[in-house]
């Protein structure tokens, strides 16, 4: 019950983040990706980042087959920011405990991280999305090979577009304390770039699957 209550609170935060632009400020933009930021709502002293782009694929297929498939390990086959991702515990059909491991980045300045999150799979009429947040999970203690990071309210959202079922508006929220002794400037540079890379990888994966 504690897991679900925690995840449903995150779900409500995520939906607000994805549908309200008032507090976000654009920090990076490319031809097809816009990244914004705002102070984190649940990680004091940190920022949260929102990446947004359109992907040529139906929302349901994109979400279920690429972003959050039943075999979550598939995500690491196309997301170049991840070295692995696995389900540690399936609490319910829509609720899992997930461990994700990232690769080193910024030319090795950021070493590999891992995160243990409770993740809720959510579907409303207009959107499908994950809502996740880190918590202490005693069955998966920190390991020497990775710095244990902490996710605040985070996830990926696939919004359906009225009149165009083959295009999806995708929003990815990063809300993270990477842990360790990283300079703030390194983190603030890395987060927007990682979101741009995520969308590039996502679009390639959707195209390869002919969604």
Quick one: pLDDT band at residue 1, thresholds 50, 70, 90? low
> Which one, of 134, 132, 120, 137, lies nearest residue 179 by Cα?
134
Distance in angstroms (rounded) separating the CA atoms of residues 124 and 17: 15
Of the chain, the end-to-end C-alpha distance in Å amounts to: 36
Query: Residue 191 and residue 165: Cα distance in Å, rounded?
Result: 30
Pairing of strands 25-29, 34-39: antiparallel
Based on the structure, what is the number of domains in the chain?
A: 1
Q: Answer whether residue 65 shows pLDDT above 60.
A: yes
The residues, any chain, with a CB within 8 Å of residue 200's CB and separated by 6 or more, are: none
**Predicted confidence (pLDDT) at residue 174 exceeds the cutoff of 80:** yes
Q: Which domain holds residue 140?
A: 2-208
Interior/surface letters 102-124, b for 16+ CB within 10 angstroms, e for the rest: beebeeeebbebbbbbbbbbbee
Q: Examine the pLDDT at 192 and tell me if it is beyond 80.
A: yes
Residue 208's pLDDT is: 94
Beta bridge pairs of residue 51: 35, 172
Lowest-confidence pick of 46-55, 106-115, 141-150: 106-115
pLDDT of residue 182: 84
Tell me the CATH number at 126: 3.30.530.20
pLDDT above 70: percentage of residues in the chain: 100
* CB-based contacts of 86, cutoff 8 Å, min separation 6: 72, 73, 98, 99
The rounded mean pLDDT for the chain is 93
Nearest to 56 by CA among 208, 197, 203: 203
pLDDT at position 209 is 92
The mean-pLDDT minimum among 13-17, 46-50, 70-74, 174-178 falls in 13-17
- What does the pLDDT average to over 155-179? 95
């Amino acid at each position: 019950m504690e897991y679900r209550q925690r995840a449903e609170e995150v779900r409500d935060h995520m939906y607000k983040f994805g549908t309200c632009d008032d507090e976000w400020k654009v920090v990076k933009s490319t031809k097809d990706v816009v990244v914004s930021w705002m102070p984190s709502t649940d990680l004091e002293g940190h920022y949260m980042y929102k990446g947004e782009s359109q992907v040529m694929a139906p929302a349901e297929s994109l979400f279920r087959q690429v972003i959050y498939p039943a075999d979550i390990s598939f995500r690491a086959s196309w997301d170049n920011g991840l070295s692995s991702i696995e389900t540690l515990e399936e609490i319910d059909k829509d609720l899992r405990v997930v461990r994700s491991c990232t690769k080193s980045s910024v030319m090795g300045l950021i070493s590999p991280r891992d995160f243990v999150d409770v993740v809720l799979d959510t579907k409303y009429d207009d959107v499908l999305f994950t809502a996740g947040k880190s918590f202490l999970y005693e069955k998966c203690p920190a390991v020497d090979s990775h710095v244990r990071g902490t996710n605040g309210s985070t996830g990926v959202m696939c919004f359906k577009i009225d009149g165009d079922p083959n295009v999806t508006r995708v929003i990815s929220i990063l809300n993270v304390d990477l842990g360790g002794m990283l300079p703030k400037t390194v983190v603030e540079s890395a987060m927007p770039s990682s979101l741009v890379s995520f969308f590039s990888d996502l679009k390639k994966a959707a195209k390869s699957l002919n969604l």
